[in-house]
Amino acid sequence: MPEVMDSGDMNRAIRRMAHEVVERNEGASGIVMVGIHTRGVPLAHRLANTVGEIEGAEVPVGTLDIGLYRDDLAGRPTTALAHTGMPVDLDDQTVVLVDDVLYTGRTVRAALDALADLGRPRVVQLAALVDRGHRQLPIRADFVGKNLPTASTERVRVRIAEIDGSDGVWIEEAE
């Protein structure tokens, strides 16, 4: 089970992504970080804090549960819904969607639908800690922590300290 990112790698990747967000948007004004449950949420907070430090601004963080927007609900056990909440009106804001792993793109597709029901952002960008390829939809990330070529039989495991107690990214062979 090779570790492909450790805690230091993750911090550096998040720092770089935060700089890219600031560069692309010429500052932090109007940016709302929106984390996709579960591990996108702490990542969104870290990105928001780092962007905030760079620009000396407060970056609001929203949370999104896409459970009501999935296209594969039938056949998967229903889980509870985590809280969806936006600290500000999304109309005309710059939303940066944040998730841990970008894979098929279906989660992002669902998140875009969910966002559209919550408001009309000026622009939506996508940040992913890991892009592992194998897209099934025409979706790409604007900010990527690490491009990780994988086989579709492999699984990418992300641990985030806020949830899992420590940071790190691993590749596992699926059983």
By CB under 8 A, name the binding residues for other proteins.
Answer: 65, 67-70, 73-78, 80-81, 83-85, 113-114, 117-119
Residues 92-122 as b/e (b if ≥16 CB within 10 A, e otherwise) read ebbbbbbbbbbbbbbbbbbbbebbeebbebe
| Closer by beta carbon to other proteins, 89 or else 162 | 89
Q: What is the distance between the alpha carbons of residues 29 and 59, in angstroms, rounded to a whole number?
A: 8
CB of 153 to other proteins, least distance (A): 24
CB of 81 to other proteins, least distance (A): 4
| Closer by beta carbon to other proteins, 121 or else 145 | 121
CB of 75 to other proteins, least distance (A): 6
Q: What is the distance between the alpha carbons of residues 18 and 66, in angstroms, rounded to a whole number?
A: 24
| Closer by beta carbon to other proteins, 114 or else 148 | 114
CB of 50 to other proteins, least distance (A): 29
CB of 172 to other proteins, least distance (A): 25
| Closer by beta carbon to other proteins, 44 or else 114 | 114
Q: What is the distance between the alpha carbons of residues 16 and 102, in angstroms, rounded to a whole number?
A: 18
Return all residues near 175 (Cβ < 8 A) that are at least 6 apart.
none
Q: Is 99 helix (H, G, I), strand (E, B) or coil?
A: strand
**Phi and psi at residue 58, in whole multiples of 5°?**
-95, 120
Q: Is 168 helix (H, G, I), strand (E, B) or coil?
A: strand
| Closer by beta carbon to other proteins, 2 or else 77 | 77
